Amino acid sequence: MDSGVVEEVRSEVDALVRGLSEERFGHVAGFTPSPGLAAIFSAHGLAAHPDTVAMLREAGEGELAARVAALVAEGTAAAEEEAWRAADATAAGNGPDGPVGLSDAALSLLHERNRDRRSALGRAVAEAALASSSPREAAAEARAAARARLGLIPDWEEVVQADDVLAASEGAYQEVLAWFARQEGLELPPRGGLDRAEILHLLAFRDQDGLFRPGPLSQVVLDGFDGLGIDVRRVRLDGNSRAAKWPGAHAFEGRVSLRRQGGLADWLDLPDAAGRAAAAATSRPSTRDPALAATVGALGSWLLLEPRFLESATGLDRKRSRDVVRRLALRLLFQLRARAAALRVAVEVERGTGGRAWHEAHREALSRAALASWPDGLAPRDADAGAHRAALAGAAWAAGIRHDLRERFDEDYWRNPRTGEALAGRIAAGSPGPEEERPPLARAAEALGALLAAGGERS
């Protein structure tokens, strides 16, 4: 296989990934209830064919072969993915006021002040999730079987590292979460009744909505990434609300779908998604490190952990900043711990676990990681091991880069023009850093745990 053919494969991989991303964006943004993924795979057959994998391996192009093999596995499950996305778009559960759609129930849960109604909304989310559970399971199992046939063997060392994420942050996470739970009259399991609905509501920190207002958010995102020397102005943002639109901010190559959750959640999620989209817009899917987008996203959202940036962005006085940083760090750590637990279970699915054992393993793993009881039936929504892997690796890279920037350019590094120069090379290379400098997955959890233990002071 000569260099011209290899470049042709790369170009087809780029086109396929971007086409799939556009179609999935339409679904998440609430435009397209049932996306047409199979047709996109058919239009770019070279990038998702087993013969291409074999030829690339014979030519010594192992990294590109692995990317094509992953796309082959995705294509094998395209029909099942179309089915679960269609089911998701119309899924509903029985809420406190009658039937409620999945996205609406998930969003209402974050704002509901009455605990009984929150519980009903939490049950509605779980009930609605069951509507797409069967095709989601089928998609995950078809993808796992195809990956095995193609020789994509899960790396168990990553699972070990994911377990380290939990171990490294257990003490600080438990102590601070328990403190905030007590303020709401709640206790952690097994003594108390903190469950998924309650922890999601708790970590929305609705009492901070007046600080994290929607109006200034776009400018805060622009200012933050300008300070990092990263251009987010080319990112296409869809911020309109639609009934079927997923809550939160979600990046798809150079686009972001945003359905506001309100307050602190949006202030963390939008910079993350904007950073991911900006990194994707300036790099090729066929060559970039899978962790690059997550690294840039984390660098953006973690700016809010810097007291000086937080004070400038919100008008917060110095006395309150430590407490607010603790809240931000706790929410970020919860997300990392959930990712780590989900990664272990998703890898077990890639190794053959399925059915009832899969659901039980997921419920137990997420309950232990979150320190809140998790409902049954959500396992198929956490089956993407690649996404969890990239998010954890990106956060680890970001924690290390942030530490380096602080050491080199002081605690207001985003105000130093040399920061952009320091990051530009990484983004141009399509990688957060050289392989020999790759940090362990627990790096970010350690940094956030230290921040919580220090009461919001510098970590």
224-263 pLDDT tens trace: 999 999 999 999 999 998 988 999 999 999 999 999 999 9
User: Can you tell me whether residue 373 is helix, strand or coil?
Assistant: strand
Of the candidates 16, 18, 66, 68, the residue with the CA atom closest to the CA atom of residue 38: 16
Q: Where are the alpha helices (DSSP H) in 30-132?
A: 37-43, 50-58, 62-76, 78-90, 102-111, 115-129
pTM: 0.96
| pLDDT number for residue 285 | 97
Please tell me the distance from the alpha carbon of residue 384 to that of residue 39, in angstroms, as a whole number.
Answer: 22
Give the chain's residues under pLDDT 50: 458-459
197 pairs with which residues across the strands?
Answer: none
| pLDDT number for residue 459 | 44
Strands 255-259 and 248-252: antiparallel
* 225 within 8 A of 278, measured Cβ to Cβ: yes
Sheet containing 248-252, strands listed edge to edge, beginning at the edge strand earlier in sequence: 236-238, 255-259, 248-252
The tally of CA atoms less than 13 A away on the side-chain side of residue 209 is 10
Q: Where are the alpha helices (DSSP H) in 203-262?
A: 217-228
- Measured over the CA atoms of residue 176, residue 402, residue 274 and residue 308, the dihedral's sign is positive
| pLDDT number for residue 299 | 98
User: 107: which 2 tokens?
Assistant: 């969003």
| pLDDT number for residue 212 | 96
Please tell me the distance from the alpha carbon of residue 97 to that of residue 87, in angstroms, as a whole number.
Answer: 22
| pLDDT number for residue 202 | 97
| pLDDT number for residue 457 | 58
Helix (H) or strand (E) holding 252: strand 248-252
Residue-wise pLDDT tens digits, 303-355: 999 999 999 999 998 889 999 999 999 999 999 999 999 999 999 999 999 99
